[in-house]
Structure 1
């Protein structure tokens, strides 16, 4: 029988858990232009899941913080695992299709975010290696191909009101 007593919490590998929203209005997608390690990169509104936060809440929060847009997630597009070329660590990204609800043009955006913009798929493809990850185009194409899963697949037992 294996001796698990030698395993400590520091020895357990933990990927970065991130969320992203694909927000489409007509043929345009909401994107962010951001400074990443001294280079200009383009991404969907995305970021890390915070402790005691549901995946859906994190996606809404990150979109608002990075773009000034309040969104309503409608579908799960997918869960993607990859190794970041920026920091070399594993990432698990949960991507949502979300509907734009309202915009606060005066909102201060997260540090490093230059601006939010709406681009067509062709304009996004033309960005080439300036896309922050291959997941940007992959999730747009999945949405355009009709890949949509109900949010009911996700379950959270967190009482977010209890943890400010």
Structure 2
């Protein structure tokens, strides 16, 4: 008999799990300019969680792949749920605050990413509907308002995260 707490039916809803990083340098924030479905869009460094990957590792990896910046996570800013206007699916996004450690300008960026750039909040607001989602500004504003959750609020039992 199947355990009802873990249904195996294909009708079980599974949202897209994504991660993002708010990386600040003074009054500027690290952003990516990307092509999405034939249009130019702006986002924080962000992407999908891979199988067998911790949320924290995914956030650091996505930032490096999309911007060439190596970052260190400092805080969890928030967890946001919304329905994407691009594909119509549900998304659960874990947004982190990160500190930039170093940049490799020669590193190739992910497919679809045109460039990484630093913008002020006012410049980001001015992008209007060119923002990839409402989560972009929501995350920056939460960070500016001082929303900080400890990274210890997240736990991973994956082998990559175990310490000897």
Same fold? TM cut 0.5:
yes
Q: 3-state SS of the aligned residue for 2:10?
A: helix
- Which residue does 1:149 correspond to in 2? 149
- Which residue does 2:79 correspond to in 1? 79
Shift in Å, 1:27: 0.4
Number of residues of Structure 1 aligned to a counterpart in Structure 2? 158
Contact 2:21 2:95 in 1 (8 A): yes
Query: Within 5 A, what are the aligned runs for 1:87-102?
Result: 87-102=87-102
Deviations 1:9-68 (A, max 9, x none): 422110000000000000000000000000000000000000000000000000000000
- Which residue does 1:46 correspond to in 2? 46
- Which residue does 1:160 correspond to in 2? 160
Distance, in Å, in 2 between the alignment partners of 1:28 and 1:20 is 16
Shift in Å, 1:161: 7.4
Distance, in Å, in 1 between the alignment partners of 2:161 and 2:36 is 33
Instruction: Establish whether residue 24 from structure 1 lines up as the match of residue 24 from structure 2.
Output: yes
Segments ≥4 residues shifted beyond 2 Å? none
Q: 3-state SS of the aligned residue for 1:149?
A: coil
Q: TM-score under structure 1 normalisation?
A: 0.93
Show structure 1 runs of 5+ residues with no match.
none
Q: TM-score under structure 2 normalisation?
A: 0.93
Show structure 2 runs of 5+ residues with no match.
none
- Which residue does 1:36 correspond to in 2? 36
Query: Within 5 A, what are the aligned runs for 1:104-143?
Result: 104-143=104-143
Deviations 1:84-142 (A, max 9, x none): 00000000000000000000000000000000000000000000000000000000000
- Which residue does 1:69 correspond to in 2? 69
Q: 3-state SS of the aligned residue for 1:64?
A: helix
Choose 79-88 or 7-16, whichever is displaced more: 7-16
Contact 2:46 2:63 in 1 (8 A): yes
